[in-house]
């Protein structure tokens, strides 16, 4: 199942994507409850299928979302027009639909640096002994339909394709051999990095969290569709040129070990977003360097997850 966060005509919500349609989970659930004669159907729908994916995950709502979408799909042949008029379905390619980051305000955004040996080498860094951690603020996240802001103060805006893990249930001191049970699903994160700011000091944060610079999406793909997160091709194209091409099997710290390690430090909670690092081929390490310019289109593709694409804007 693929879940998007989207905005349409002032309504921001969670939808299941199926066959080119977005099925709005809270609205569809309210309709199903009303059809069954449940009192206060809209209120109960908002409580059990909230229009925010972080909250939906926290309320253990993935299976309910799956059932709601299946019920809508079953009734589509008879009720397509009624559903469209009620905002229960929308076309994914409707120009009025704005895809947002799947998680609008995660409790935590945790990122790994130097998690592929070839990228550590091109960066002139040693292979880390422990996961190299930094974080981002939620204000940096943008959806796949939104332009990356190229800040006027940086001349070195760089791309980094990354598999991102979304946590599905709370956990502390999670053993690595059970860590994937805590994963709700996967998405793609382009860890846009302002290299001139990143390398001014010892902490990378200044270069990693500029407002509205980190595309995420296009959706959350549930974990059942990604049985092995360590065998996915990962590719970045910048304005048509393939500049990164690798496989998640090359990670130094795999997803399960990363979750186990992080959960020694903090309790992981539903909606937490973990970016797992980028392979070789980033712009600053190329000869000559290749930094993003106004008009560039950056497209990141991860097998089984999807394609995240955004136009740059000056």
Question: Which region, judged by CB under 5 A, interacts with Mn ion, from 16-24, 48-56, 132-140, 160-168?
Answer: 160-168
Q: Closer to Mn ion by CB, 13 or 190: give it.
A: 190
CA pair distance 1, 262, nearest whole angstrom:
26
Residue nearest to Mn ion (CB): 191
Q: What order of strands is seen across the sheet that includes strand 241-247? A: 148-149, 306-313, 297-302, 233-238, 241-247
When binding is defined by CB under 5 A, the residue of 48, 191, 237, 296 that contacts Mn ion is 191
What token pair was written down for 51? 């229009």
The strand ranges marked E within 191-305 are 193-194, 214-222, 233-238, 241-247, 273-275, 297-302
CB of 218 to Mn ion, least distance (A): 19
CA atoms within a 13 Å half-sphere pointing along the CA-CB vector of 217: 25
CB of 278 to Mn ion, least distance (A): 5
Asked if 62 and 168 touch (Cβ cutoff 8 Å), the reply is yes
CB of 66 to Mn ion, least distance (A): 32
Asked if 244 and 235 touch (Cβ cutoff 8 Å), the reply is yes
Q: Closer to Mn ion by CB, 72 or 189: give it.
A: 189
Q: Closer to Mn ion by CB, 191 or 272: give it.
A: 191
CB of 39 to Mn ion, least distance (A): 49
What token pair was written down for 122? 């091109």
Q: Closer to Mn ion by CB, 52 or 160: give it.
A: 160
CB of 158 to Mn ion, least distance (A): 9
**Dihedrals phi, psi of 267, to nearest 5 degrees:** -75, 120
Question: Which region, judged by CB under 5 A, interacts with Mn ion, from 22-30, 123-131, 155-163, 246-254?
Answer: 155-163
Q: Closer to Mn ion by CB, 160 or 237: give it.
A: 160
CA pair distance 94, 306, nearest whole angstrom:
19
Question: Is there binding between residue 278 and Mn ion (CB under 5 A)?
Answer: yes
Helix (H, G, I), strand (E, B) or coil at 231: coil
- Interface residues with Mn ion (CB under 5 A) are 160, 191, 278
């Amino acid at each position: 199942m693929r879940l998007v966060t989207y905005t349409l005509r002032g309504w921001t919500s969670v939808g299941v994507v199926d066959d080119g349609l977005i099925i709005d989970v809270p609205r569809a659930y309210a309709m199903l409850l009303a059809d069954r004669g449940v009192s206060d159907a809209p209120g109960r729908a908002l409580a059990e299928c909230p229009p925010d994916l972080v909250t939906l995950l926290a309320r253990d709502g993935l299976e309910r979302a799956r059932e709601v979408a299946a019920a809508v799909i079953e009734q589509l042949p008879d009720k397509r027009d009624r559903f469209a008029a009620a905002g229960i379905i929308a076309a994914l390619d409707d120009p009025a639909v704005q895809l947002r980051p799947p998680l609008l305000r995660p409790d935590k955004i945790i990122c790994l640096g130097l998690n592929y040996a070839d990228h550590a080498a091109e960066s002139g860094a040693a292979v880390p002994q422990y996961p190299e951690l930094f974080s981002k603020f939620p204000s940096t996240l943008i959806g796949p339909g939104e332009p990356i802001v190229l800040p006027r103060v940086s001349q070195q805006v760089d791309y980094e394709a990354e598999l991102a893990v979304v946590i599905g249930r709370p956990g502390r001191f999670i053993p690595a051999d059970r860590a994937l049970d805590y994963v709700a699903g996967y998405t793609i994160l382009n860890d846009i990095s302002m290299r001139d700011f990143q390398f001014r000091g010892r902490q990378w944060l200044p270069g990693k969290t500029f407002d509205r610079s980190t595309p995420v999406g296009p959706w959350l793909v549930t974990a059942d569709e990604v049985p092995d997160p360590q065998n996915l091709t990962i590719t970045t194209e910048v304005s048509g040129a393939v500049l990164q091409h690798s496989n998640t099997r090359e990670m130094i710290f795999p997803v399960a070990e990363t979750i186990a390690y992080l959960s020694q430090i903090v309790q992981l909670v539903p909606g937490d977003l973990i970016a797992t690092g980028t392979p070789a081929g980033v712009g600053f390490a190329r000869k000559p360097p290749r930094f993003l310019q106004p008009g560039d289109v950056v497209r990141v593709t991860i097998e089984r997850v999807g394609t995240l694409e955004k136009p740059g804007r000056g």
